Amino acid sequence: MLSSLQLNRIFKRKKAQKLALLIAAAYVVIVFIMSILANYIAPYNPYTVNLNQIFLPPSFKHIMGTDYLGRDVFSRIIYGARYSLGASVIAVALALFIGSIIAFTTAYIGGYLDRAFNVVMDTMYTFPLILIAIMIAFVIGKGFFNVAVSVAIAETPRFYRVVRSSVVSVKNRGFIESARLSNIPLRVIIYRHILLLVIPPLAVMSALTMSDAILSISILGFLSLGIPPPIPEWGADLSVNRSALLVGAWWALTFPGLMILVTSFAFLLISEMYNEITIKGAGEI
């Protein structure tokens, strides 16, 4: 995957950044709509097995060919978006909620509690996130919700660090002290003076985490630790179709792999371009 520096070199101008953001966002919206309307868009039932049509090449009847069980690859990709994106959204939402709640509470209170959680989160952050997700998935088992929880726990330190740094940077400022002395309720202080400052970086982090979550869930599926077959999931479909290379059926691996790559890259592009246009652009003004 391209790094942030490489992306910034490619999209130097504001117009290019806005165009890239628009294209990536449009692609993501299309994929989400495709997953929601899968029952109406998919030409075939993704679970229907037809052993007489194993590894058929792309054609007008099957535009992305068939897999090792004769199932339509295009239909499985459409339905797979529902599970791959659905699990990713749940994972990011859980990580955002858990990380933000812990960060707001510990950073605002401070003291030993803040230092203890900071050590725990920093320790988790030193490990590769996918390694943490694999270990958790191995313990709690397979399944749609289980894989989302595994990735959410692995991604929680990211949101914790973003929120904590924002809270620590503003909690001792003069206007926060004035609000405290004025007996303004804590929830009002958090909402009016802290939360609004945290939302922009959280938006960037959410899009970036969606990119990683899609890859992580696909890796777990490929390792048979995620959403189990025959449920259509991009990573699991890559795993069960590995034998396709032996018979030259490249399409059974190529199209699910492309969906993982392109969708993950689209969220990465949204994160980087939004950061460049909105946050950094505001800092230049």
166-183 CB burial, b ≥16 within 10 A, e <16: bbeeebeeeebeebeeee
Identify the pLDDT of residue 177: 64
Identify the pLDDT of residue 17: 81
Is residue 228 pLDDT above 60, yes or no?
yes
How confident is residue 7, by pLDDT bands cut at 50, 70 and 90?
Answer: low
CA 143 to chain centre: 17
pLDDT in tens, 22-44: 999 999 999 999 999 999 999 99
d(CA 117, CA 100): 12
Identify the pLDDT of residue 275: 81
259 or 188, greater pLDDT: 259
d(CA 148, CA 143): 9
Is residue 73 pLDDT above 70, yes or no?
yes
Q: How many residues can be counted in the chain?
A: 285
d(CA 24, CA 262): 9
Give 72's strand partners.
66
Is residue 285 pLDDT above 50, yes or no?
no
Q: Which of 21-30, 94-103, 177-186 has the lowest mean pLDDT?
A: 177-186
pLDDT in tens, 116-133: 888 999 888 888 889 999
User: pTM (2 decimals)?
Assistant: 0.88
Identify the pLDDT of residue 6: 57
Q: What percentage of the chain has pLDDT greater than the value 90? A: 57
The DSSP code for 193 is I
56: left (phi > 0), else alpha (psi -120 to 50), else beta?
A: beta
Q: Which of 1-5, 17-21, 41-45, 263-267 has the lowest mean pLDDT?
A: 1-5
Section 223-249 average pLDDT: 91
Section 243-253 average pLDDT: 90
Phi/psi at 225 (nearest 5 deg)? -115, 0
How confident is residue 280, by pLDDT bands cut at 50, 70 and 90?
Answer: low
Is residue 279 pLDDT above 80, yes or no?
no
Is residue 283 pLDDT above 50, yes or no?
no
